[in-house]
């Protein structure tokens, strides 16, 4: 994947920048140019405004992936979930820092900034959101694997500067 192709999505992938319909107030992530739910579909063109998601939500469904997507081979088994955010949009992402057996539908989670995957030794490293339990479960043994090298606060600040 070219650098630009990933880089242009950083405000969304790093910082959960979505959009809100100026007509019906429905929130979308990733941002939309037109509202899919307004009865007056055409009237919402150019009425969509930027909207920041909080990253809080809960697990709607999840799976434990054993046969990984490309670039995720070193992370198996990993939990992939549908997370409904408190603002409404549902996001697809990993749930980390928790044993798969402790993940359940209804688990409260919050978004965190992590390394997603690497394109081989010399390729682009992709960063973006994953989810962690909002409250640590009693049986949690702490984060698995090494701590990711980039701090979310730095990235957030950089993106805000760019935006």
Peptide bond into 136 cis (omega under 30): no
Q: Is the dihedral of CA 51, 114, 93, 132 positive or negative?
A: negative
Which C-beta is closer to other proteins: that of 104 or that of 161? 104
For 58, half-sphere exposure in the C-beta direction (CA atoms, 13 angstrom radius) is: 7
- Quick one: which of 106, 99, 149, 110 has its CA closest to 127? 149
Nearer to other proteins, 72 or 161 (CB): 72
| 94 counts as binding other proteins under rule CB under 8 A | yes
Nearer to other proteins (CB atom), residue 40 or residue 61 = 61
Q: How far is the CB of 32 from other proteins (least distance, A)?
A: 10
Burial grade of 110 (CB within 10 A; 0-12, 13-18, 19 or more)? middle
Regarding 64 and contact with other proteins (CB under 8 A), the answer is: yes
**Nearer to other proteins (CB atom), residue 34 or residue 60:** 60
Residues forming the site for other proteins (CB under 8 A): 9, 13, 30, 36, 60-70, 72, 75, 77-78, 80-82, 89-94, 105, 116-117, 126, 128-130
């Amino acid at each position: 994947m070219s650098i630009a192709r990933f880089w242009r999505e950083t405000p969304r992938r790093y910082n959960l920048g979505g959009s809100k319909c100026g007509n019906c107030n429905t929130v979308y992530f990733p941002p939309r140019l037109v509202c899919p739910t307004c009865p007056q579909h055409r009237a919402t063109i150019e009425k969509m405004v930027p909207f920041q998601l909080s990253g809080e939500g809960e697990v709607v469904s999840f799976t434990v992936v054993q046969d990984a997507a490309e670039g995720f081979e070193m992370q198996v088994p990993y939990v992939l979930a549908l997370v409904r955010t408190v603002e409404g949009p549902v996001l697809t992402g990993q749930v980390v820092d928790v044993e798969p057996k402790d993940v359940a539908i209804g688990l409260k989670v919050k978004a965190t900034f992590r390394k997603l995957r690497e394109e081989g030794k010399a390729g682009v490293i992709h960063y973006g959101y994953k989810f962690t339990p909002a409250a640590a479960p009693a049986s949690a043994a702490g984060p698995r694997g090494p701590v990711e090298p980039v701090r979310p606060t730095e990235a957030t600040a950089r993106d805000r500067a760019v935006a």
